Chains A and B, each alone.
Chain A
């Protein structure tokens, strides 16, 4: 079963994946070992750089007893001009499931349409990043006890930020109120805002960060991504525009969560790290249990009720 955008999951399926991820936590932490994916091979296809996504998929597979192939663009036939279609034909023969990150939008859907094995989208250009969304929802549920009806502020590069695109879609389906904070050139694409509103989501757009966070349940910071800018001068205009430090959090709700898909540049000052608002490192760990649950879903493997 593929996972290309959050549209591939119903709300019930998303919740059931979070429940499965919860049950897999002892394995994710290394406290238990259950080789549910023994004999299975994952192809990690990273045509664009990644640290957390690639490593967490790899550790997820290994902790469940499976094996991993890693392909990166450097040192592969892609550099010689091989099409994505041809690369996928090869992978179809070598692996049971594939995870793909690619600089071009639509690449994950294209890869999935090229082969029979299940494909998961780990980021396609400025498109979608649904496995990140699952781990974000998992983290939000840990911090807030629920994912329904929350007041979420999304900050930074909402135009090119695929993480923000996928997460806002998902949150809108769970009745969130969204405040989208970005500089004018990095506003959320209008078709996404239209989709959010048509699903009944309350959406506000703003350029000011601090007024937006006082009543927030979650503040989701994102990096302004240099690599997505066609023009360096445009990047310089908006780089470093939104930052949060511990001082800024004085009047926020006590259980407000600061999240970030990482890597951060200067969006979140290290003074926040030691506060109870800091969730970004837990969030990065949560990639493991959620991606375990997703790998099991893709390969049709049931997860036992109790894992010790």
Chain B
């Protein structure tokens, strides 16, 4: 961040930069960041960016997000840059990848899918059928799901 620093550097944790402007709240939902833990979280939204015009940034202290957790963000922030911070330095850079299946990220939004029974124990699986254009279907009932439906059905 070459611009004015709005949030101080963190010692250890994860920085998610270049989140599409306005999407950081959805990113927090997808990462299950809901205030139930005590580690500090810093969120800036709609800040100017030389790279993408305007962006959101999320800094999560004392928690290194796993690749699996980061891949959950592929639907809403595929081009976000991820840095794992240790002792104020960038220890690792990670890329978000859209895998072939989204497992336990969202439930199928179709009202008559077998997975609508909340007692059924198998994982919720949404399959990426094509990437361009993006088409995602429930691995059980086969119904297409739009990105907005998936975001509405996050687990």
Interface residues of A (CB under 8 A from B): 5, 81, 83-85, 102-107, 109-110, 113-114, 124-128, 191
A5 contacts which chain B residues (CB < 8 A)? 142
A109 contacts which chain B residues (CB < 8 A)? 139-141
CB distance from B144 to the nearest CB of A (A): 5
CB pair B110 A105 closer than 8 Å: yes
CB pair A105 B120 closer than 8 Å: no
A127 contacts which chain B residues (CB < 8 A)? 141-142
CB distance from B38 to the nearest CB of A (A): 36
Given contacts A83-B120, A83-B121, A85-B122, contact A104 B144 (CB under 8 A): no
Q: With contacts defined as CB atoms under 8 Å apart, how many contacts are there between chain A and chain B in the complex? A: 60
Interface residues of B (CB under 8 A from A): 108, 110, 112-117, 119-122, 137-144
**A102 to B138 alpha-carbon distance, docked (Å):** 17
A84 contacts which chain B residues (CB < 8 A)? 114, 117, 120
Given contacts A83-B117, A106-B138, A124-B141, contact A113 B112 (CB under 8 A): no
CB pair B144 A85 closer than 8 Å: no
User: Other than the known A85-B122, A104-B116, what 8 A-B pairs have Cβ atoms closer than 8 Å?
Assistant: A104-B114, A104-B117, A105-B112, A105-B114, A105-B140, A105-B141, A105-B142, A106-B113
B117 contacts which chain A residues (CB < 8 A)? 83-84, 104
Q: Residue of B at shortest CB range from A103?
A: B112
**A14 to B119 alpha-carbon distance, docked (Å):** 36
**A106 to B113 alpha-carbon distance, docked (Å):** 6
A85 contacts which chain B residues (CB < 8 A)? 120-122
A-B contact pairs, 20 of them (CB 8 A): A5-B142, A83-B117, A83-B119, A83-B120, A83-B121, A84-B114, A104-B112, A104-B113, A104-B116, A105-B110, A105-B112, A105-B114, A106-B115, A109-B140, A113-B122, A124-B141, A125-B141, A126-B112, A128-B142, A191-B143
